């Protein structure tokens, strides 16, 4: 007698992402037809991104503390962290070099003239706050109190406190188990709240897209098509050629399969122009695809502050664009000095809408004040540029997580092929994966929560 098979439960989140696509198309239409009304819708998109951003600090804190605190060997954390930082520095340098080469080939901004209105926009964009020195940046990582980062949302401060907490739990031995279990429950609560907030994504996407199209129209896009197209092509080459070749050489994973697996996250980033909105989902999906929880817990949050491939390319090409549009191109030495400064200054701001523009303006103000007015030339399309930045940063962090997992022997390649082939789909309802991605605990050691 044949037993009836239970019907497969339809994934409701499928409709959510279809709704996001429809909302984006409606937002573009509203922005073109009634731009004055569309501009007034900006708070809707801003509100949705703010709702997601308020969850980032607790997500990072729980992920790192659980990743670090659930393993006994502090040396493993140091090995993963050191390897990750070395890789991030190398790839940022590669991205910087690619941006410089392409920018000097296509000469973005040549032949353009700065008028009074764009100059005023540039001054308004940078404000009057002076650029931070390296010492101020380093001191700013230290929070006022242990719990302050969870309230302020400062990414680097949250990283510091989480690492200190994780290492402290390691020293407690078996006594840390109740704390780890409590944090595991808190992490589940955080992800459940995020799953609820994601149902507001279509509304947020509609407001954000409508506002930016209503404010810029089509003229700005046409006049600045060269810099946009050049930037998009450069980011695509970096992801598919550089990262793709590295991923296949090291982990034998096809870049297209990995990006398809993360397709919903890319759509979310595209609609919000912020890679931070997809950070919790990247953490959960990287564990599901076969990277161990400790490696994911260290690599992903750290990469969001230090692995800024898309931002590096943007800062390079945008600086060359502004200088050439102002009729005063940067020399090679000026390019290197200015852009290295801006890469450092951008740490902790990855994925935040408008952070690239603010970093660009701050760097120019610090090194070449005479070029600051030229920032107004790209104010109108920075939102569209930030989407490509966020997508590239996200792809870079996903690839980095697999690579670090492979190098540290904390990556299950067989499971990855199974997941990427669609034979073990990700649980979209909870965004958690409790059965995979966690290495077996050694005898006498508590299992990761």
pLDDT, one tens digit per residue, over 347-376 is 544 544 455 666 676 667 666 777 766 666
Beta bridge mates, 411: 291
Count the neighbouring beta carbons within 10 Å of the beta carbon of residue 107.
Answer: 14
DSSP annotation of 277: G
Evaluate whether residue 217 is within a structural domain.
Answer: yes
CA distances in angstroms from 88 to 19, 91, 93, 348, listed in the order given = 35, 5, 9, 13
Give the model's pLDDT for residue 406: 93
Give the model's pLDDT for residue 167: 83
Look up residue 413 and give its two tokens: 């390649």
Contact 290, 441 (CB under 8 A): no
Evaluate whether residue 439 is within a structural domain.
Answer: no
CA angle 352, 201, 217 (to 5 degrees): 70
Evaluate whether residue 2 is within a structural domain.
Answer: no
Instruction: Quote the mean pLDDT of the chain.
Output: 74
Q: What is the domain extent for residue 280?
A: 14-420
Evaluate whether residue 432 is within a structural domain.
Answer: no
pLDDT band at 48 (very low <50, low <70, confident <90, very high): confident
Beta bridge mates, 291: 411
Evaluate whether residue 254 is within a structural domain.
Answer: yes
Closest alpha carbon to 394 in 193, 227, 287, 259: 259
User: Where residue 74 sits, what CATH number does that domain have?
Assistant: 1.10.3860.10
Give the model's pLDDT for residue 336: 76
Look up residue 134 and give its two tokens: 């390296």
| Nearest-angstrom CA–CA distance, 255 and 236 | 12
Helices (H), 262-354: 263-272, 279-288, 293-306, 309-325, 332-345
Evaluate whether residue 430 is within a structural domain.
Answer: no
* Burial class of 401 by CB neighbour count within 10 A (0 to 12, 13 to 18, 19+): buried
Evaluate whether residue 370 is within a structural domain.
Answer: yes
- Looking from the CA of 223 toward its CB, the CA atoms found within 13 Å total 15
- Burial readout 216-232 (b: 16 or more C-beta within 10 A, e: otherwise): beeebeeebebbbebbb
Number of domains in the chain: 1
Give the model's pLDDT for residue 384: 65
Evaluate whether residue 442 is within a structural domain.
Answer: no
Kindly report, residue by residue over 309-356, the tens digit of the pLDDT.
888 888 888 888 877 777 777 777 777 777 676 666 555 445 444 556
Look up residue 358 and give its two tokens: 């603010």
Kindly report, residue by residue over 86-134, the tens digit of the pLDDT.
898 888 888 888 888 888 887 766 655 544 444 454 455 444 454 455 6
Name which of 17-21, 70-74, 283-287, 363-367 the model is least confident about.
70-74
Greatest mean pLDDT among 224-228, 294-298, 370-374: 294-298
């Amino acid at each position: 007698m044949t037993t009836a098979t239970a019907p497969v439960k339809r994934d409701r989140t499928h409709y959510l992402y279809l709704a996001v696509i429809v909302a984006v198309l409606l937002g573009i239409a509203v922005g073109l037809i009634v731009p004055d009304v569309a501009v007034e819708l900006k708070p809707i998109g801003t509100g949705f991104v703010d709702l997601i951003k308020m969850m980032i600090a607790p997500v990072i804190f729980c992920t790192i503390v659980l990743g670090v605190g659930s393993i006994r060997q502090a040396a493993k954390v140091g090995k993963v962290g050191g390897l990750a930082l070395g890789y991030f520095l190398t790839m940022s340098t590669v991205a910087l070099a690619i941006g410089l080469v392409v920018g000097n080939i296509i000469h973005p901004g040549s032949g353009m003239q700065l008028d009074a209105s764009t100059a005023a926009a540039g001054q308004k964009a940078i404000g009057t706050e002076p650029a931070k020195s390296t010492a101020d940046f380093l001191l700013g990582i230290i929070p006022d109190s242990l719990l302050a980062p969870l309230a302020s949302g400062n990414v680097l401060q949250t990283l510091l406190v989480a690492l200190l907490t994780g290492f402290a739990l390691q020293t407690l031995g078996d006594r840390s188990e109740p704390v780890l279990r409590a944090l595991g429950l808190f992490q589940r609560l955080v992800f459940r709240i995020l799953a609820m907030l994601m149902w507001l994504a279509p509304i947020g996407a509609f407001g954000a897209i409508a506002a930016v199209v209503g404010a810029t129209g089509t003229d700005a896009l046409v006049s600045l098509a060269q810099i946009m197209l050049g930037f998009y092509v450069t980011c695509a080459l970096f992801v598919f050629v550089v990262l793709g070749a590295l991923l296949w050489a090291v982990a034998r994973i096809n870049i297209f399969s990995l990006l398809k697996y993360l397709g919903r996250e890319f759509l979310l980033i595209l609609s919000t122009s912020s890679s931070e909105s997809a950070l919790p989902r990247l953490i959960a999906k990287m564990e599901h695809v076969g990277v161990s929880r400790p490696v994911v817990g260290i690599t992903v949050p750290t990469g969001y502050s230090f692995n800024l491939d898309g931002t590096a390319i943007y800062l390079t090409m945008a600086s060359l664009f502004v200088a050439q549009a102002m009729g005063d191109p940067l020399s090679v030495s000026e390019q290197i000095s200015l852009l290295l400064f801006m890469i450092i200054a951008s740490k902790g701001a990855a994925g935040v809408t408008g952070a690239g523009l603010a970093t660009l303006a701050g760097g120019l103000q610090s090194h070449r004040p005479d070029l600051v007015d030229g920032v107004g030339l790209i104010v109108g399309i920075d939102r569209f540029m930030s989407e490509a930045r966020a997508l590239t940063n996200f792809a870079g962090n996903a690839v980095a997580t697999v690579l670090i997992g492979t190098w540290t022997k904390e990556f299950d390649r067989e499971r990855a092929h199974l997941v990427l082939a669609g034979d073990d789909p990700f649980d979209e309802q909870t965004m958690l994966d409790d059965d995979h991605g966690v290495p077996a605990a050694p005898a006498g050691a508590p299992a990761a929560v």
